[in-house]
Chain A
């Protein structure tokens, strides 16, 4: 077991900077997920930790050792590849033994480790088969088994579930969770799937453009995104962004003006937003924090027209046109009976509002929101 530390890590390929000076602390026994769209540098970061790529600049520490100049096999890591990378000409048992044999492990230890891992993953009856005779899910288990027998300081996983069908993916996700509870091996996991990231991680690092946008516990990052990228990336359907001009109402309270509609800023954000009066500000609201207010006019409602109704079983997603011509998505109760072209009034949950600077994308209310959540 070991913690992993990245300091100002940079990786350049010719003229592309894949990893642009990231620093990240991966605590011992944690399950850290690097998540981001394709090309964000998450896989390169993992390969740098693995020793498959050499860092252009910066420092990688595993345990207390700087490992920049160590080769992959000297680093005490095991990796699970997206395509599993099982040796096709070796049996499952030989696949699992190979790494230990290469490290001159004693025969009795090899046998113990292989049978322990096989039992843990319930692949005992597959040991004499070759990878081509296994299903995708079984191959996945063997790839995990091959990592487990090594008993490494760190597991590195590169989108290990993305080649599985949807149902199996959910099942393996749960098993990975269980496995990590049992083994407590520090794990760095790369995925572009934000649901996977949310469910598996105890620390999530959202990446974009070779940089880490935000690090934290999944629920914290989800409810308190530091910028519009993180806010939009996590959550499905993603967060709605409504841009308006910040002004004041008749009473002098802060109000966001969308043109034909206005939105009253909750009093607790007044301090943070005071300096932005007269400027453009983006309001962020997640679809699940929008509800329909069909009982006539009240304060803080936004009139809209239903454009698309998508029943999804546990919820119904509505796409609506606000009177201001902005489009917005709302996830509402599946029993809601609305149809296309219905006029409705939307109510935004006032505890779940975010405000961003449209120029920089940075959250204007990040700290206030976190503090409020912590005290509440």
Chain B
């Protein structure tokens, strides 16, 4: 009993709860809150941890029972082997090219378009914005056949370039289609939160509208741009279904497809799948951790008028 008491008070101290200055019920509520949050964090991170330790187990030890949750014989051989036995550098390159190009296109077009929707009062302004965002509400899976058909036989440029099937361009076009509406929407809301008197001050200071946008408004929009970029990048990096349908070889296949290839008809190569999964997950996690500060401010900017 007394040891339990002291463990509890140690825990309370470790969580920075001040029992001298807080009501007992506040301390209890905090403990419950910490408990729930801890559980949630565990649920979130456990699968990632499990993939990680699977990826550093020797192939033969993956299915051992009882499951070992701590690495006993850590090895990097799975990582080395996926690059030796499969073109993982190509998959990674494909993922990088597709995701970054999509991101650049979405940020560039989304920023300019969002600014126009925010500042210019043209005929059909609202209807057009709704239709752009509304188009994105269609479930992507409903569009998979049309996309496959179009990319296999591009109606206009087909005669010049041939089929876009199994090219990175097909993926870039598809991902841009899905992400640009969000980019426009986020940036429009972001610019709505930037007072128009700044545009006007820039005009009085001698800027054209374009100069004012580039020199004054755009530098202020960095959080919005970061939020847009991260959403577009992570979507493109993680996307699986369209990549599966629109590509068939390592010249365009991305990491999610590469990882799925470890699943054969009668056998799953868990150790290599886990190593591939870690490689696929890492950039997203790092990107997310690094930019998460911008996501919140970028998405909520303009929600509250000061």
The residues of A with any CB-CB pair to B shorter than 8 Å are 50-52, 71-73, 77-79, 81-83, 85, 87-89, 98-99, 102-103
* A88-B220, A89-B220 known; A83-B203 Cβ under 8 A: no
* A85-B195, A85-B197, A87-B198 known; A71-B219 Cβ under 8 A: no
Residues of B within 8 A of A99 (CB): 204-206
- Are the C-beta atoms of B201 and A73 separated by less than 8 Å? no
Q: Which B residue sits closest to A147, measured CB to CB? A: B204
Taking the closest CB of chain B, its distance from the CB of A287, in whole angstroms, is: 37
Alpha-carbon gap, A72 to B197, bound state (A): 13
* A85-B195, A88-B220, A89-B220 known; A79-B207 Cβ under 8 A: no
- Are the C-beta atoms of B197 and A73 separated by less than 8 Å? no
- Are the C-beta atoms of B203 and A71 separated by less than 8 Å? yes
* A52-B200, A79-B201, A81-B197 known; A73-B206 Cβ under 8 A: yes
- Are the C-beta atoms of B219 and A89 separated by less than 8 Å? yes
Within 8 A of A (CB), among B29-57: none
Among B198, B204, B207, B219, chain A packs the most CB atoms within 10 A around the CB of B204
Alpha-carbon gap, A51 to B203, bound state (A): 9
Residues of B within 8 A of A103 (CB): 206
Alpha-carbon gap, A99 to B200, bound state (A): 12
Among A52, A83, A85, A98, chain B packs the most CB atoms within 10 A around the CB of A85
* A85-B195, A87-B198 known; A50-B220 Cβ under 8 A: no
- Are the C-beta atoms of B205 and A98 separated by less than 8 Å? yes
Residues of B within 8 A of A81 (CB): 197, 200-201
List 25 interface pairs A-B (beta carbons < 8 Å), by A numbering: A50-B200, A51-B203, A51-B204, A52-B203, A52-B204, A71-B203, A72-B203, A73-B203, A73-B205, A79-B200, A79-B204, A81-B197, A82-B197, A83-B197, A85-B197, A87-B198, A87-B201, A87-B220, A89-B220, A99-B204, A99-B206, A102-B205, A102-B206, A102-B211, A103-B206
Q: Which B residue sits closest to A150, measured CB to CB? A: B205
Alpha-carbon gap, A102 to B215, bound state (A): 11
Residues of A within 8 A of B211 (CB): 102
B216 at interface (Cβ–Cβ under 8 A)? yes
A sample of 17 more A-B contacts (CB under 8 A), given A52-B200, A52-B203, is: A51-B203, A72-B200, A77-B204, A78-B204, A79-B200, A79-B201, A82-B197, A85-B197, A85-B201, A87-B198, A87-B216, A89-B219, A89-B220, A99-B204, A99-B205, A99-B206, A102-B206
- Are the C-beta atoms of B207 and A73 separated by less than 8 Å? yes
Residues 129-141 of chain B, each 1 if its beta carbon lies under 8 Å from chain A, else 0: 0000000000000
Q: Which B residue sits closest to A89, measured CB to CB? A: B219
- Nearest 5 A-B pairs (CB), nearest first? A102-B206, A99-B205, A85-B197, A73-B206, A85-B201
Within 8 A of A (CB), among B202-224: 203-207, 211, 216, 219-220
Taking the closest CB of chain B, its distance from the CB of A210, in whole angstroms, is: 21
Partner of A83, one of B195, B216, B220: B195
- Are the C-beta atoms of A85 and B198 separated by less than 8 Å? yes
Alpha-carbon gap, A52 to B202, bound state (A): 11
Alpha-carbon gap, A248 to B205, bound state (A): 65
Q: Which A residue sits closest to B216, measured CB to CB? A: A87
Alpha-carbon gap, A71 to B207, bound state (A): 10
Residues of A within 8 A of B201 (CB): 79, 81, 85, 87
Residues of B within 8 A of A79 (CB): 200-201, 204
Residues of A within 8 A of B198 (CB): 85, 87
Residues of B within 8 A of A89 (CB): 219-220
Taking the closest CB of chain A, its distance from the CB of B176, in whole angstroms, is: 29
- Are the C-beta atoms of A73 and B204 separated by less than 8 Å? yes
- Are the C-beta atoms of A85 and B206 separated by less than 8 Å? no
Alpha-carbon gap, A73 to B200, bound state (A): 10
Alpha-carbon gap, A164 to B65, bound state (A): 72
Residues of A within 8 A of B220 (CB): 87-89
Alpha-carbon gap, A73 to B216, bound state (A): 16
Residues of B within 8 A of A87 (CB): 198, 201, 216, 220
Residues of A within 8 A of B219 (CB): 89
Alpha-carbon gap, A226 to B124, bound state (A): 46
Residues of A within 8 A of B195 (CB): 83, 85
Alpha-carbon gap, A196 to B15, bound state (A): 55
Alpha-carbon gap, A89 to B198, bound state (A): 12
Q: Which B residue sits closest to A80, measured CB to CB? A: B201
Alpha-carbon gap, A79 to B201, bound state (A): 7
Q: Which A residue sits closest to B306, measured CB to CB? A: A83
Residues of A within 8 A of B197 (CB): 81-83, 85
- Are the C-beta atoms of B206 and A50 separated by less than 8 Å? no
Taking the closest CB of chain B, its distance from the CB of A270, in whole angstroms, is: 54
Residues of A within 8 A of B205 (CB): 73, 98-99, 102
Residues of B within 8 A of A85 (CB): 195, 197-198, 200-201
